[in-house]
Amino acid sequence: MGEVNIDSRSGLLGPVSLSYEFGSFPKNLIPPHIRWDEKKEPKYTTRQEFFLIKRQVRKSKGFDIDFTQFRSVFNYRPVDLDCDEYAKPPETTRELVKRLSQKSLNKYNNEWFTEYEFLNIVKANYYMCSGLMFFITFEVKDPYDYLPKLFQTSVYYYYADEDQYILTRPKPKQNVKCVGTTKTQKRYLHQSFTLTHLLFLFESLIWFFTLDYSLLICSLLFMIVVDWHRKLMQYSMVGWW
C-alpha cells in the first residue's frame, strides 16, 4: 500500500511517557477520554497500562489507541476537535486538523498520481514535543468506485514554523481496495503498457534486420525500467496497471 514519507523521521515515534498516574490529579482536570469510573472493568495497573498503550502506539504508528482502557494519563492523547487550544486564532482546531489533512492528501496525490478527494476528519491523536505531533485519521472518496476510504497522516505542527508532513498512507487492513484513479485511467494505462510491449517487438525486428546492437540494448533497458515500475505500482496497490 502506498505511503509518502517526507523525511528521515517517518519511521520514528515519540517515546510513550506517563504524565499523571491514576488518582494523582483533580477530577475537574481529568481529560474527557480518561476512564475515571471505578466500576468499569478491567482495571489495569499503571505499569500494565504503560505497556498496553506502548504496544498500541507502536502497532498503529500512533493512529489507533483505545484510550478508554486507561485510567492514567500519558503523553499520547486524543485531540478534542471542539477545543481551540491547539490552533492559533482565528483558526480553530477543527480547521487546523482539516487543513493539515487536506495538504497531506494533496502531497500524496501528487506523489502517487492519484485523485483521492478529502471528505471529513474521523479522529486525531497527538503528543507534545517542541510543537505538536498529530496523528490524523480522515476519510476520502476514491474515484475508482466512489466509495469512502480511510487515510492516515502524521504531521508536525508549530504555529511559528512550517508544517512538516511525516507520513501519509491509506489506513492498513481496512478490507477495501484503495486505487485512487478512475477506471478509465486505469484501462488507458494498461493499454499504454501493452503498446510498450508492441514497440519493443517492433524495435527487435528492426534490430534483427539491421544488427544494430545499440538499439537492442536501449530497448531492453527501456523494457526493464517499465516492467520494474509496473511491479512497483502493483506492490503498492495504487492500481496504475
Cα dihedral 202→205→209→211 (10° resolution)? 90
Cell, residue 54? 506502548
Structural domain boundaries in the chain: 7-77, 93-170, 183-236
Amino acid (one-letter) located at 27: K
Contacts of 11 (CB under 8 A, 6+ apart): 5
Crossing angle (nearest 10°) for helices 183-210 and 213-236: 160
* CATH among 3.10.450.10, 3.40.47.10, 3.90.550.10, 3.40.225.10 for 93-170: 3.10.450.10
Residue spans of beta strands (DSSP E) within the chain: 4-5, 18-20, 73-74, 77-78, 117-128, 132-141, 148-157, 164-170
pLDDT for 93: 94
**CA count, 13 A, side-chain hemisphere, 76:** 29
pLDDT for 17: 94
Cell, residue 153? 497522516
Closest CA to 155 of 32, 54, 236, 61: 61
**pLDDT mean for each 10 residues of the chain (241 residues):** 45 84 74 67 89 96 92 91 88 95 96 94 94 96 94 94 93 88 60 56 62 64 63 45 32
Q: Tens of pLDDT along 96-110?
A: 999 999 999 999 999
What's the predicted TM-score (pTM) here?
A: 0.73
